[in-house]
Amino acid sequence: MRRMDQSSDADPFTYARAAAAELQSLAGGPLDAAVVLGSGWGDALDVIGSGGPDGGGKDVLFADLPGFPAPTVGGHGGMVRLTTVGQRRVALFAGRVHLYEGHGADRVVHGVRSAVLAGASTVLLTNAAGSINPANGVGAAVLVRDHLNLTGTSPLIGPTPPEPHSVRFVDLTEAYSARLRSLAKEVEPGLGEGVYAALHGPNYETPAEIAMLRTLGADLVGMSTALETIAARHLGAEVGAISLVTNLAAGLGDTPLDHTEVLAAGGDAGERMGRLLRGVLERL
Catalytic annotation on 101?
yes
Angle at 130 between CA 124 and CA 132, to 5 degrees: 110
CB 104, min distance to ligand HPA, A = 20
Catalytic annotation on 39?
yes
Under 8 Å CB-to-CB from 164, ≥6 apart: which residues? none
Count Cα atoms within 13 angstroms, Cβ side, for 49. Answer: 31
Residue 242 and residue 184 in contact, taking contact as beta carbons nearer than 8 Å: yes
Catalytic annotation on 76?
yes
Closest CB to ligand HPA: residue number: 130
Under 8 Å CB-to-CB from 212, ≥6 apart: which residues? none
Amino acid letter, residue 65? L
Shorter beta-carbon distance to ligand HPA: residue 156 or 197:
197
Tell me if 151 contacts ligand HPA by CB under 6 A. Answer: no
Q: Within positions 195 to 254, which residues make up the interface with ligand HPA, using CB under 6 A?
A: 204-205, 221-223, 246-247, 249
Catalytic annotation on 4?
no
Considering the candidates 237, 247, 250, 265, report the single residue annotated as catalytic: 247
Catalytic annotation on 128?
yes
Tell me if 138 contacts ligand HPA by CB under 6 A. Answer: no
Shorter beta-carbon distance to ligand HPA: residue 222 or 270:
222
Catalytic annotation on 188?
no
Shorter beta-carbon distance to ligand HPA: residue 7 or 260:
260
Strands (E) in the chain, as ranges, are 33-37, 58-61, 79-85, 88-94, 122-131, 141-149, 192-198, 220-222, 238-248
Give the catalytic positions in this structure: 39, 76, 98, 100-101, 128, 223-224, 247, 259
